[in-house]
């Protein structure tokens, strides 16, 4: 429960006691159980600290950017190293205080030091008229800031690092020429965030923004790595775009299947952005595979894609994660992830059955949609809205492909929309407790 919810509970308890909703003992037990720790700062305090550090840091960079032509090189270099030294001393002071240092002070110190490092590198390049692309600058800046994540556990630096490595990886597509200078380095860079990885003993619950940042960064960074793996394997990307899409599908399934702790399994969907975005991508992919032309084209390239060493790594990772998902009984997840494997099924008896892919995919998606609805009505944990959405999208896809008139299509769209809304309403009433 968030600190703000604890505070709300404490505000309500006296009123509940007066109304006889809870006894004095129960209220006291609730107060103890959901104690408010006022020594820790609120979100606003952390944000203000971060904003202050950002303003000071960008101010220093802007002052440096002025280019003090009247001073010699040594004096100008001092401009860069003084803020760096100051921020390092501040971080050291925070580090020595350990847990006594408030979270917002830690955030501020880490961010100031990060910005001071960036300013120092920028000034050296300015003084010596060094060229180079800004993503390279960003790469070294992020790497030099990375230990601050471990030491001060600063979310702002984590967000910066995630953004920087993703930007660098995307920029390196077509630019990098050896694996360690290409987007294929991204997975190693991502490992730098281990302290924030759920399940580590010094792990604190990930904030929502950090979860989304991590998912988006991993999505872009690993897709860039897949692109580079295809380019380096075939020597080009032109004509092999389908192989890249296959590697992206494998990447998305891997991210979607990332094992979760049992406590995280029951968390709301917004706490699992990798699952939300993965579902959207895979359902989109599944729908695309119900169209004859793209399905045949993609299936034709599957064999080529699987021959890429990067794909073998992704498949191995997927196999491990699928086993873990089976063990954790994440059925709905497995049903959606299996969409990616359906085109491979049509290849099992040989390429002659490749034209059947759209039919196989359609049958699978329809059955999956129906299954997710029926599970709910059978009293088990299903996903009826997802199931209904899946079936509606399938019907819409077929309508788009059909030769029917615009009028007929329009009426069908309206009917499906009304049906979907009615289903949503029925489901809402069914779930509402009796008497409410």
Residue 157 Cβ vs another protein, minimum distance, rounded to whole Å: 12
**One residue of 75, 130, 208, 280 binding another protein per CB under 8 A:** 130
Residue 192 Cβ vs another protein, minimum distance, rounded to whole Å: 13
Residue 198 Cβ vs another protein, minimum distance, rounded to whole Å: 22
Site for another protein in 90-129 (CB under 8 A): 91-92, 95-96, 98, 113, 117-118, 120-129
Closer residue to another protein in complex, CB, 98/350:
98
Are 240 and 310 in contact by the 8 Å Cβ rule? The answer is: no
Determine which helix (DSSP H) or strand (DSSP E) holds 275, and give its type and residue range. helix 273-288
The answer for residues whose C-beta is within 8 angstroms of residue 79's C-beta and 6 or more apart is 63, 64, 68, 123
Query: What is the total count of residues that contact another protein (CB under 8 A)?
Result: 43
Are 13 and 30 in contact by the 8 Å Cβ rule? The answer is: yes
Residue 45 Cβ vs another protein, minimum distance, rounded to whole Å: 24
Closer residue to another protein in complex, CB, 170/404:
170
Q: How far apart are CA 331 and CA 384, in angstroms?
A: 14
The answer for residues whose C-beta is within 8 angstroms of residue 73's C-beta and 6 or more apart is 127
Closer residue to another protein in complex, CB, 90/423:
90
Are 107 and 46 in contact by the 8 Å Cβ rule? The answer is: yes
Closer residue to another protein in complex, CB, 64/283:
64
Q: Is 213 in the site for another protein (CB under 8 A)?
A: no
Query: Which among 12-20, 89-97, 350-358, 378-386 is the span making contact with another protein, rule CB under 8 A?
Result: 89-97
**One residue of 47, 144, 347, 389 binding another protein per CB under 8 A:** 144
Q: Is the dihedral of CA 409, 411, 414, 419 positive or negative?
A: negative
Would you call 354 exposed, middle or buried from its count of C-beta atoms within 10 A (0-12, 13-18, 19+)?
A: middle
Residue 38 Cβ vs another protein, minimum distance, rounded to whole Å: 25
Are 413 and 399 in contact by the 8 Å Cβ rule? The answer is: yes
Q: Is 173 in the site for another protein (CB under 8 A)?
A: no
Q: Is 88 in the site for another protein (CB under 8 A)?
A: yes
Q: Is 176 in the site for another protein (CB under 8 A)?
A: yes
Residue 168 Cβ vs another protein, minimum distance, rounded to whole Å: 15
Residue 56 Cβ vs another protein, minimum distance, rounded to whole Å: 16
Residue 369 Cβ vs another protein, minimum distance, rounded to whole Å: 48
Are 256 and 279 in contact by the 8 Å Cβ rule? The answer is: yes
Q: Would you give the binding string for another protein spanning residues 54-83, x where CB under 8 A is met?
A: -------x--xxxxxx-------x--xx--
**One residue of 6, 10, 34, 175 binding another protein per CB under 8 A:** 175
Q: Is 421 in the site for another protein (CB under 8 A)?
A: no
Residue 128 Cβ vs another protein, minimum distance, rounded to whole Å: 4
378: left (phi over 0), alpha (psi -120 to 50) or beta: alpha
Closer residue to another protein in complex, CB, 73/380:
73
Angle 80-159-88 from CA coordinates, rounded to 5°:
30
Closer residue to another protein in complex, CB, 172/243:
172
Closer residue to another protein in complex, CB, 95/344:
95
Query: Which among 132-140, 186-194, 295-303, 386-394 is the span making contact with another protein, rule CB under 8 A?
Result: 132-140
Are 53 and 119 in contact by the 8 Å Cβ rule? The answer is: no
Site for another protein in 280-339 (CB under 8 A): none
Q: How far apart are CA 226 and CA 42, in angstroms?
A: 40
Q: Which of 188, 121, 109 lies closest to 155 in space, CA to CA?
A: 109
Residue 121 Cβ vs another protein, minimum distance, rounded to whole Å: 6
Q: How far apart are CA 120 and CA 139, in angstroms?
A: 14
Q: Which long-range contacts (CB under 8 A, 24 or more apart) does 259-265 make?
A: 259/321, 259/324, 259/325, 259/328, 260/198, 260/328, 261/198, 261/199, 262/328, 264/198, 265/328, 265/330
Q: Is the dihedral of CA 309, 315, 321, 327 positive or negative?
A: negative
Q: Is 234 in the site for another protein (CB under 8 A)?
A: no
Q: Is 200 in the site for another protein (CB under 8 A)?
A: no
Closer residue to another protein in complex, CB, 53/117:
117
Closer residue to another protein in complex, CB, 12/126:
126
Cα 297 to Cα 3, 61, 64, 193, 357, distances in angstroms: 53, 51, 54, 38, 11
Would you call 261 exposed, middle or buried from its count of C-beta atoms within 10 A (0-12, 13-18, 19+)?
A: exposed
Site residues (CB under 8 A) for another protein? Answer: 61, 64-69, 77, 80-81, 84, 88, 91-92, 95-96, 98, 113, 117-118, 120-131, 134, 137, 140, 144, 147-148, 150-151, 175-177
């Amino acid at each position: 429960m968030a600190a703000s919810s604890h505070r709300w509970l404490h505000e309500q308890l006296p009123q509940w006691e007066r109304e006889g909703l809870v006894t004095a003992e129960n209220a006291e037990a609730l107060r103890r159980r959901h104690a408010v720790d006022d020594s820790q700062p609120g979100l606003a305090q952390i944000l203000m600290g971060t904003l202050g550090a950002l303003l000071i840091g960008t101010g220093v960079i802007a002052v440096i950017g002025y280019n003090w032509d009247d001073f010699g090189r040594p004096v100008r270099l001092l401009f860069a190293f003084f803020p760096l030294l100051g921020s390092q001393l501040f971080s050291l002071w925070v580090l020595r205080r350990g847990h006594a240092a408030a979270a917002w002070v830690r955030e501020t110190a880490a961010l100031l030091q990060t910005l001071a490092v960036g300013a120092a590198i920028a000034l050296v390049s300015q003084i010596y008229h060094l060229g180079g692309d800004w993503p390279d600058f960003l790469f070294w800046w992020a790497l030099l800031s990375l230990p601050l994540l471990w030491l001060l556990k600063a979310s702002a630096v984590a967000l910066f690092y995630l953004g920087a490595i993703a930007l660098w990886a995307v920029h390196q597509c077509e630019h990098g020429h050896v694996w360690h200078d290409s987007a294929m380095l991204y997975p190693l860079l991502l490992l730098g965030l281990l302290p924030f990885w759920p399940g580590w003993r010094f792990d604190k619950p990930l904030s929502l923004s950090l979860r989304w940042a991590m998912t988006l960064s991993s999505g872009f960074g690993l897709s860039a790595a897949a692109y580079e793996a295809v380019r380096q394997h075939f020597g080009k990307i032109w004509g092999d775009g389908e192989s890249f899409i296959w590697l992206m599908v494998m990447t998305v399934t891997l991210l979607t299947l990332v094992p979760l702790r049992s406590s995280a399994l029951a968390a709301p969907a917004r706490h699992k952005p990798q699952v939300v975005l993965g579902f959207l991508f895979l359902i989109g992919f599944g729908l695309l595979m119900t169209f004859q032309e793209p399905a045949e084209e993609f299936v034709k390239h599957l064999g080529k894609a699987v021959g890429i060493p990067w794909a073998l790594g992704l498949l191995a990772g997927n196999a491990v994660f699928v086993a873990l998902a089976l063990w954790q009984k994440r059925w709905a997840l497995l049903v959606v992830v299996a969409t990616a494997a359906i085109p491979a099924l049509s290849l099992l008896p040989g390429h002659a059955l490749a034209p059947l892919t759209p039919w196989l995919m359609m049958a699978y998606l329809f059955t999956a949609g129906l299954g997710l609805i029926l599970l709910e009505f059978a009293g088990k944990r299903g996903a009826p809205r997802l199931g209904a959405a899946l079936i509606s999208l399938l019907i819409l896809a077929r309508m788009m492909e059909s030769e029917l008139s615009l009028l007929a299509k329009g009426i069908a769209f309206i009917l499906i929309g009304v049906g979907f809304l009615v289903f949503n309403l029925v489901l809402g009433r069914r779930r509402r407790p009796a008497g409410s």
